[in-house]
Structure formats: C-alpha cells, structure tokens
Structure 1
Amino acid sequence: MSSEKINIIIFVTITTVLILLLGFILILVIYLYQQRKLIHTQSITELELSHEKSLTTTQLEIQENLFRHISQEIHDNVGLTLSLVKLRLNTLDFSQMSVMKEQVFSSVNLLGESIENLRDISRSLNADIINNYGLIQAIHKEITRIEELSNINITLAIDGEPIYMDSQKELIIFRIIQESCNNILKHSGAKSASVNLKYTKQELVLSIQDGGKGFSMSDFSEKNYSSGAGIRNMTARSKMIRATMLVSSAPSKGTTLKFTIPI
C-alpha cells in the first residue's frame, strides 16, 4: 500500500474520531445545559411554592388577628353597652313611671351608640374605605373614630406631596396604622400619639409615635411582643409591601415605629 493511501486513511480516521468527539462533546454540553435548566426550573418552582406557602401563612395570621380585633372591638365597645341596656331594661319598675321613662330613654340612646359603633367598626374594616376615601382621608376618619372612643389625642402630619399607590398597598399601610393605634390604646398607657407620613419620589416614610410607658429594647424581641403588641402582624404586613420596619423604645419614653415603604 502506498504511503499516500496510508496518509489518506490516517486523515479520514483522525477526522472521523474528531467529528465523533465533537459530537459527543456537543451532546454532553446539551445534556448538561438541559440538566442545569431543569434544576434551575425546579429551584424556581420550589421558591415560588415556598413563597406562596409563606404568603398564605402570613395572610392567615393577619386574618386571624383581624378576627381577633373584630371580636375585641365588639366586646369592648358594643357588648358592654348592650349589657348595660339589658340591665336597665331588666330593672324597670312600672310603679315608678318617671324613673322607668328615664331608663327607657337612656337605653334607647345606648342602643343608638351601639349601632353607630358597629357602623364605625364595619367602615374601618371594609377594604372599600381606601377606594372610597383614599389613604389620607381614611386615616383621618380612623383617627377621629379612635379619639371618639377613647381619651387619647392623635395628631396626623403629612410631609411632602402625597403620591397615589396601588389600592391594595394603601390598604396594607392603613391596616398597619390601625394595628399600631390599637397597640397604643391597649398597651402604651399614652394620652397622646402622632402619625407622620413623609412622601418623597422614591419612598413613603411612616412614623407612629406614642408618649406611653415604652419598654426596654434589651428585652425586646419579635417573639416576646408578637402576641401582645402585634409586632409580628405588622412585620408580616411590611414584608408584603417590601417595607422595612424599625422599633425604638425606652421605659417611660414611649415607642416609635418607623416604616420605610418603596413607592
């Protein structure tokens, strides 16, 4: 066999081996790419499922706290008044007409107060409050409602030009303010409080401050205060709108909650 034929055979053999090797490498690259793509897709799916589970848990916790809030409001503001009405009507003395008339008249007034309280609770819990009034007006109405039902004075300050946000986002901000005010009423012992909204083009800074008894930050933890002060609930709501939340307090110095909310 001539050397030229041998060279041709060697060349064809090497070329064939190289083509097969390149084909194998190409198949391997495609396989590895598909595997990485599959792993990435699975990772994204797992993250989405984890996020959905976390969001569902958060929503359930918020719903549970909301139901607890409704129950407490009805018990404190309506149940007590109706119990008093029942007591007065049960002690009516038909032999003393003037006294009986006064008891009936006062009972009617108390029933009217209970109906109005129920209406106020319904309005404050209805998500349409944001669509109907907007965030600022809804906060005004909520502060007025709280002041009428308690002996606390709450001031509202708006810095900057208010910027309209998604109604669901504004509703969550409104619920945070409701929760904060509810905590002030129940736990702070404060006679005054303030709500400040500072608008910039990039963010809304919400500050809620009370002049109550406060607490030591060295003893503070989300675990310790989640049930009593609603910190866990507000933290969950903050995460839903990608807001940061800071708590500062000191004994006899009151408490300040600061939420930085991206617009």
Structure 2
Amino acid sequence: MDSVENQVYIIIFSTLFLGGIMSTFVVAMVFIHRQRQAQNRQKVDQIKTEHEKTLLNIENEIQQETLAHIGRELHDNIGQLLSLAKLNFGSLKPEKHAEGKEILNQVIQEVRGLSKTLNLDWVESISINEFVAQQLDRIQNTGFCETMLEADFELIDLPKDQKLVLIRVIQESLNNAMKHASPGKILIKIHQDGPTKQIRIQDDGSGFDTSLQTNGSGMYNLQNRMQTIGGGFELTSTVGEGTEIILTLPN
C-alpha cells in the first residue's frame, strides 16, 4: 500500500515539476518574444528616424542650392536686364522706350519663374527625365562639355521621397564629374533591365582609383541615401577611362 502511495506521490510531484518547467519555459518564451518585438520596433523607429532625417537634409540642401541659383540669377541675369532697361528709358528716342518695355516684360517673366523655385513644389511638378534634361542643358550651355540623355521611358509618378533622393544624388554625381573628372562628355541613360529600372551616369573624364575611397567619402554618402529609399548605388571607375554610376530604383 505504501509503495502505491509513494508511486502516486512521485507521479503527482513529477507532474507538478514538469508543469512548473513548462510554465517557466512558456513565460521565458513570451518574455523573449516581447523583447524581440520591442527590439524590432526600436529598429523600425530608428530606420524611420534616419529616413526622415535624410529627407530633411536633402530638402535643406536643395533649398540652399535653389537660393544660391536665385541669387546668381538676380545678380547676373535680372540685374543686367534692369540696367539695360534703365539705359533704354534714359534715351530720348521713342523706339528705345519700346525696347525698355519689352525688357521689363522679360524681367517680369524671369521673376515669376524664380518665384516658383522658392519652395519645393517644383519637385512634385517635374519628372526625373525633365530634371535630368534641364541639368544636362545647363551644363552644355556653359560650354563645359557635351551632354546627352538617352531614355527608354518616362520616370513619372514617383513618391516625393524617392524623387528628392534621386534629384540630389544626380546633382551630386554631376557636380563631382564637373569638379574632378574634366570630362569631354557626360551621358545619362534612363533604361529598364527586365523589372529593374536604372539611371546610369557616365563620363569620359579622368576617372579615379576606387580602392582609395573611404567610408567618409561623398560616394559612400550617396550610396547610403539610395539605400534609405530601398534603391541601389554602384560606382565603377578606371584612371584615364572615366566613371560610371548606376542608380537602381526601388521596385
């Protein structure tokens, strides 16, 4: 009888012991799961914060560049037109007054055009193709080098965050080519390789040794910016043979 009671006690104790272990295991798993959820939420919040910070920096940079452009236009273009209009109105000849009025009309149109660039509304109203064409025309009009755009399709209806990043990365890539490469020609291709959409920025300039680039370089910054929108950045360059930058758009 005693042995039966002992067996019962052992079974009860074993059941309670195993139940306690299982309960502890479940509680531990729930705790670990919640910890991982909290860590994942923290990572997501950090990624969102970095994304918003990147976009804010890009907006500020574009606004600063826009203001610098407006300053140059006011000084070099509108200032000259107003001086010319003043000379014409100072003449006693009626035909010069008519020329002065035409110049003033031109000034009004120029000022209206500049006023539209004081905010970032133009980012939403312009396609990437149009922006690239404007940038290349501006470079070629300076006589710096020849430029060409080849596009298989029109990049439209992009989210504003993607468009902002692309605009800034393209600007920086072109500025780097002009500052450091001394190219005779810059070519930008907008094309599609299967489901992948890419923007290729090529120049035939001096090129450089990519192994000398550091994590603190401007190219790393451009790569990081493309990653914030789920895109890709690839650079290849050879000394004396030019540089190619491939921007892969997010799917």
- Tell me if TM exceeds 0.5: yes
Aligned to 2:142: 150
1:94-132 superposed Cα distances (whole Å, 9 cap, x missing partner): 4x53597598468537625733752785799623335xx
How much identity, in percent, do the aligned residues show?
Answer: 16
Deviations 1:214-239 (A, max 9, x none): 44435434534x3xxxx466334311
2:189 alignment counterpart: 196
Secondary structure of the 1:30 match is: helix
Q: Within 1, Cα distance between the matches of 2:78 and 2:169?
A: 30
1:29 aligns with 2:25: yes
Over 3 Å counting, the alpha-carbon distance change for 1:128 and 1:60 in structure 2 is closer
How does the TM-score come out when normalised to structure 1?
0.72
Partner SS for 1:97: coil
What is the TM-score with the length of structure 2 in the denominator? 0.75
Letter in 2 for 1:196: K
Q: Hey, what's the Cα distance between the residues in 1 that align with 2:70 and 2:89?
A: 30
Query: Match of 1:48?
Result: 44
Alignment of 1:2-81 (within 5 A): 5-81=1-77
Partner Cα separation in structure 1 for residue 72 and residue 203 of structure 2: 22
Which residue of the partner structure matches residue 180 of structure 1? Answer: 173
Long gaps (5+) in structure 2: none
Q: Which residue of 1 aligns with 2:235?
A: 247
Change over 3 Å in CA distance of 1:248–1:175 after alignment to 2 = same
Q: Number of matched residues?
A: 248
**How has the CA–CA distance of structure 1 residues 166 and 107 changed in structure 2, closer, same or farther, with 3 Å as cutoff?**
closer
In structure 2, the CA distance between the partners of 1:141 and 1:52, relative to structure 1 (3 Å rule), is same
- Residue by residue over 1:120-164, the C-alpha shift from the partner in whole angstroms, topping out at 9 and shown as x without a partner, is 85799623335xxx554x3565357536753343222235x7787
User: Which ranges of structure 1 fall in alignment gaps of 5 or more residues?
Assistant: none
Quote the residue 1:97 is aligned against: 92
Following the alignment from structure 2 to structure 1, what is the Cα–Cα distance between the partners of residues 119 and 137?
10
Residue identity opposite 1:62 in structure 2: I
Contact 1:58 1:236 in 2 (8 A): no
The SS at the match of 1:249 is: strand
1: CA distance between counterparts of 2:107 and 2:183?
Answer: 29
2:210 paired with 1:217 = yes
